[in-house]
Structure 1
Amino acid sequence: MNVRTEVLRVQPAVDYRGTFAVEDPLPREGAELPAGWEGLYFPFDVPLAGLRPDGSPEGDDVLPPVELPRRMYAGEDTTFHRPLRYGEAVERTTTLGSLVTKEGRSGELVFADLVRVLRVAGETVLETTWHDVFLEGSGSGSGSGSGSGPGRREPAVTGPGWWRRPAVLDARQLFRFSATTFNTHRVHYDRTWAREVEGLPDLLVHGPLARILVLDAARRENPGRAVAGFSYRSSAPLFVDREFVLTGHGTTGPDGEPGTEVLVLDEEGVAAGRGVVRWAS
């Protein structure tokens, strides 16, 4: 188990807003964090000696040793019990969930679940399971948000009533998100590494950034609603300087709860990720 405590300072949110979310009001002490912005806090704290060659953490004091060289965010399942507020002191506990080894198209894969609970003065405020995947060395043919993959790429099917929000992220924005979260994963800022070592066409957009952008888009299309839950799965990469589209529509959950489905479409219209937001009643 890993336990950390952090006061939710305003500045990381101010930095994020000025780079990605100028539509949102300026963060201030005591105000509510938008859902997803908790991902700006508890930045990576692994010492340099604890990093893999690609810059990702070796073990986070939770994971056992995994020999595969590459690590990627693959998705999450999160429950929001109430909004967090700027200035609150938050305790985060991280434990290991499942650890599964599989054989993929491009070799061995290890899927690791990290279970995190955020508490304020003993009150559970947020519970989340993040799904990470460890992969073989080359990124040119791998899945789970890491590479283009050799399979056939079919454009996603959307319909009437779907809203659309196009976006393009440049290298400055990727650098700022890496700096805010102290993320040293080289695929986000080192073009030589991304192209020559990982086999990627260019810098990779952070999976944890994509999940915040999905939640931001859903909130803006549903003003006044509070997020109660969020599930996200990354299925293909997004790259710097290439347009992608956040598109979504209203849904109804199995118990009749209101929700929003959001697809992240790459420049070819293929779904690179899918998020489902559950709204508080």
Structure 2
Amino acid sequence: MSRTLKRFYSSASSPSATSVAAQFLSKTQSRPPLIQTQLLDANQLQRLSATLSRIELANALPEKGTSLPACYHLAYFTPAQVEEELGNDGTDTTFNPPRPFTRRMWAGGELEWIAGEGKGLSVGQEVKETTELVSCVGKKTRAGEEMVVVGVEKKYENEFGVALIDKRNWIFRPEIITSTAPAERPVKIPFPEGKYIRDFCQTPVTLFRFSALTFNAHKIHYNKEWCREVESHRDLVVHGPLNLINMVNFWRDVIGVNMLPKKITYRATSPLYANEKYRVVMSEEKDKVTEVNIIDSYGKVGMVGRIESK
């Protein structure tokens, strides 16, 4: 490992996850909520659609009033920290607990669409995002490793009121002191079948474009040396939000492309990697609920989701 990476990942003390979480929660909740206001511009929507290969919104600049498809808000309200304030791994540190719990992973969350018909998020609106820290707890993995789980709640308000509530959970694991060689690729097995299936194989180009659109400098998505030499991933890691959007797009294509769900709950369970094929498996809707799993070429479930229709 290079001298630079060793400098990044040396640590002298290791306070417990529980104590770090308690102190961070108290300190952060004493501050006012983080508020951002942004115009939902057509250019961002068009470029995100091009990145996702969604031709219906990529071929021409979307008109004012075009409804934002479910989860496309993730490309707006991007972090604005200067580079010197980012973590060593490139992550925005606004809601990151202190060392040693600095290694962030997107764990999952819940989204609920509140607005009535014709009152949702759309191109040309000025929308206010209010973000609050709602939880921070110390936990242990099954292997006994300590971690801090941070939960935030984001509310999106347009001229009609709150349109969307987005609750997100991030896991923060201890910084790496001594890295290990990445594991070899497992043996491929046949994909599972299901009522509806769609296969993906994300390229480094897609990951770069999605990182640029979301202003996400997390190195696991574009720096292969960092992935392999520091974090022991075998390749670039596909963004959790990108998997969520593709999962929901698939649901829209089956249920109705212009549909907004009532509620989505999802959980990232294992990394998915660039240049590796994976499959979205979706069940038939039952009592307005659709179950969705994303499974890699080796039988590991990367994300599980539950989508409720209105």
**CA displacement at 1:122 relative to structure 2:** 6.0
Q: Distance in 1 between matches of 2:170 and 2:112?
A: 18
Work out which of the residue numbers 269, 278, 281 in structure 1 matches 2:299: 269
Work out which of the residue numbers 91, 115, 126 in structure 1 matches 2:153: 115
Q: Which residue pairs with 1:45 in the alignment? A: 80
1:259 is the counterpart of 2:294: no
Q: Distance in 2 between matches of 1:163 and 1:3?
A: 39
SS at match of 1:276: strand
Q: Deviations over 1:176-216 (max 9, x none)?
A: 00000110000000000000000000100011111111111
Q: Could you tell me which amino acid in structure 1 is paired with residue 47 of structure 2?
A: D
Change (3 A) 1:2 1:122: farther
Worse-superposed segment, 99-108 or 7-16: 99-108
Q: Distance in 2 between matches of 1:180 and 1:25?
A: 16
Q: Could you tell me which amino acid in structure 1 is paired with residue 212 of structure 2?
A: A
Q: Which residue pairs with 2:281 in the alignment? A: 247
**Which structure has greater strand proportion?**
1
Change (3 A) 1:55 1:19: same
**CA displacement at 1:34 relative to structure 2:** 0.5
SS at match of 1:69: strand
SS at match of 2:262: strand
Task: State the TM-score, normalizing by the size of structure 1.
Answer: 0.87
Q: Which residue pairs with 2:133 in the alignment? A: 96
Structure 1 runs not aligned, ≥5 long: 142-146
Q: Distance in 2 between matches of 1:250 and 1:127?
A: 26
**CA displacement at 1:88 relative to structure 2:** 0.5
Structure 2 runs not aligned, ≥5 long: 1-32
Following superposition of structure 1 onto structure 2, how do residues 1-281 of structure 1 map, counting pairs within 5 Å? 1-26=33-58, 27-58=62-93, 60=94, 62=95, 65=98, 67-82=100-115, 83-104=120-141, 105=143, 107-121=145-159, 123-138=161-176, 162-223=195-256, 224-252=258-286, 256=287, 258-280=288-310
Q: Could you tell me which amino acid in structure 2 is paired with residue 7 of structure 1?
A: L
Task: State the TM-score, normalizing by the size of structure 2.
Answer: 0.79
**CA displacement at 1:271 relative to structure 2:** 1.2
Q: Distance in 2 between matches of 1:169 and 1:157?
A: 17
Change (3 A) 1:218 1:14: same
**CA displacement at 1:272 relative to structure 2:** 0.6
Worse-superposed segment, 269-278 or 110-119: 269-278
Q: Deviations over 1:74-118 (max 9, x none)?
A: 101110123310111010000011101012226211000011100
Q: Could you tell me which amino acid in structure 2 is paired with residue 200 of structure 1?
A: H
Q: Could you tell me which amino acid in structure 2 is paired with residue 46 of structure 1?
A: Q
**CA displacement at 1:72 relative to structure 2:** 1.1
Q: Which residue pairs with 1:144 in the alignment? A: none
SS at match of 2:44: helix
**CA displacement at 1:23 relative to structure 2:** 4.2
Q: Distance in 2 between matches of 1:165 and 1:100?
A: 36
Q: Distance in 2 between matches of 1:269 and 1:220?
A: 25
Q: Could you tell me which amino acid in structure 1 is paired with residue 151 of structure 2?
A: D
Q: Could you tell me which amino acid in structure 1 is paired with residue 173 of structure 2?
A: L
Report if aligned partners of 2:106, 2:170 keep a CA contact under 8 Å in 1: yes
Runs of 4 or more off by more than 2 Å in structure 1?
21-28, 62-67, 136-141, 155-160
Q: What RMSD in Å do the two structures reach over aligned CA positions?
A: 2.6
**CA displacement at 1:16 relative to structure 2:** 1.4
How many residues in Structure 1 have an aligned counterpart in Structure 2?
A: 265
**CA displacement at 1:251 relative to structure 2:** 3.7
**Which structure has greater helix proportion?**
2
Q: Distance in 2 between matches of 1:66 and 1:277?
A: 36
Q: Distance in 1 between matches of 2:146 and 2:192?
A: 33
Q: Could you tell me which amino acid in structure 2 is paired with residue 8 of structure 1?
A: L
